[in-house]
């Protein structure tokens, strides 16, 4: 994979440079303390060429993340729109790619997690994993989702993802595909880097945005697709752990995870133990939307 990236171009502190030249020092606060924020954005091939999905919403959240982190210099959505589009364009991608704008604390690290601000935009090919089709097996983690009183859960901060790493590492060690975290109140929060939905008694249910979750842009997309494409009004509320085993079906969503069905939780089969119909219908609606097979009536596509 590393060899495949040698010819890629990266936007790095105002310049477009070869992949190998986009470097920071090991002593920077970004490396030492995880003092950085990022976005994950997908660009998809459509019949009209490459298109970036919900670019402006992602960059607006990145701007918010920087403000919460109190960075000395804020890179606005307007400033980064051009570099993101240009990175996708310059690399000549013809397949789905994962674009990652990153803003981080640079410098020599002597001032702790303070210092000058750096920025970069990378884009790499995104392959769809097998369990997008067949579904995944999930473990409710013994690790608790971080509290918004400890770390800002609405911010895509690098350091936050250590919480996710602990959960997914435990799950894979124990023979599962991934994890599901509970919050400090014992309610369902989210997966490592993806939001959770379940279908119970004919209703689509997801944790509320006050459940120590990221205010996910893909989650918002799914909520709208539930209403507009499936004619189902989703419910946002607390979800207890024991409810999970009564669910008829469930799925994760996120930029990287797209819409991924869940077939088992803690070894309990959901429904028949295969991806459910609502999950499949939403997956189809989502792929049709992001890959440009239906009209973009909401203005969510940015052409490259």
Residue-wise pLDDT for 83-134, tens only, equals 999 999 999 999 999 999 999 999 876 766 788 999 999 999 999 999 999 9
pLDDT at 24 over 70: yes
pTM (whole model) above 0.75 = yes
Task: Spot the catalytic one: 32, 89, 126, 156.
Answer: 156
pLDDT at 200: 97
Q: Supply the pLDDT for residue 113.
A: 72
Taking CA atoms, 146 is separated from 164, 230, 251, in Å, by: 9, 33, 21
Mean pLDDT value of segment 200-222: 97
Tokens linked to 70: 């109190």
Please give the pLDDT value at position 111: 67
Q: What is the dihedral of CA 262, 263, 266, 272, to 10 degrees?
A: 150
State residue 108's pLDDT score.
Answer: 79
Q: Which residues pair with 62 in a beta bridge?
A: none
DSSP state of 21: G
Structure tokens at 49: 């060429």
Catalytic residue status for 134: no
117-125 vs 9-12, strand pairing mode: antiparallel
Q: Residue 44's CB: how many other CB atoms inside 10 A?
A: 19
Provide the terminal-to-terminal Cα distance of the chain, rounded to the nearest Å. 25
SS3 60: helix
Q: How far apart are CA 29 and CA 31, in angstroms?
A: 5
Question: 156-165: per-residue pLDDT in tens?
Answer: 999 999 999 9
Q: Rounded to an integer, what distance in angstroms lies between the CA atom of residue 46 and that of residue 41? A: 16
Pairing relation of β-strands 268-269 and 203-206? unpaired
Domains, the chain, ordered by start: 3-125 (3.30.470.10), 131-290 (3.20.10.10)
């Amino acid at each position: 994979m590393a060899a495949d990236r040698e010819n890629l171009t990266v936007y790095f502190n105002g310049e477009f440079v070869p992949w190998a030249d986009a470097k920071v020092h090991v002593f920077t606060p970004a490396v030492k303390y995880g003092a950085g924020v990022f976005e994950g954005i997908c660009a998809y091939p459509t019949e009209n060429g490459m298109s970036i999905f919900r670019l402006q919403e992602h960059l607006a959240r990145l701007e918010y993340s920087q403000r919460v982190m109190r960075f000395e210099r804020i890179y606005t959505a307007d400033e980064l729109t051009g570099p993101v589009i240009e990175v996708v364009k310059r690399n000549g991608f013809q397949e789905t790619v994962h674009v990652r704008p990153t803003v981080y604390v640079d410098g020599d690290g002597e001032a702790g997690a303070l210092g000058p601000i750096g920025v970069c935009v990378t884009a790499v090919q995104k392959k769809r994993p097998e369990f997008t089709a067949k579904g995944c097996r999930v473990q409710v983690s013994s690790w608790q989702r971080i509290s918004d009183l400890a770390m800002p859960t609405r911010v895509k901060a690098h350091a936050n993802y250590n919480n996710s790493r602990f959960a997914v590492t435990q799950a894979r060690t124990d023979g599962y595909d991934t994890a599901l975290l509970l919050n400090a109140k014992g309610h369902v929060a989210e997966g490592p880097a993806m939001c959770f939905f379940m279908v119970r008694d004919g209703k689509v249910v997801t944790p509320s945005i006050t459940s120590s979750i990221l205010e996910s842009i893909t989650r918002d997309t799914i909520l709208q697709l539930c209403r507009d494409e499936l004619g189902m009004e989703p419910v946002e509320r607390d979800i207890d752990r024991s409810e999970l085993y009564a669910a008829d079906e469930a799925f994760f969503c996120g930029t990287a995870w797209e819409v991924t069905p869940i077939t088992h939780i803690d070894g309990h089969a959901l429904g028949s133990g295969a991806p459910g119909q609502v999950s499949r219908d939403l997956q189809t609606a989502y792929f049709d939307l992001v890959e440009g097979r239906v009209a973009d009536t909401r203005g969510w596509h940015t052409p490259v």
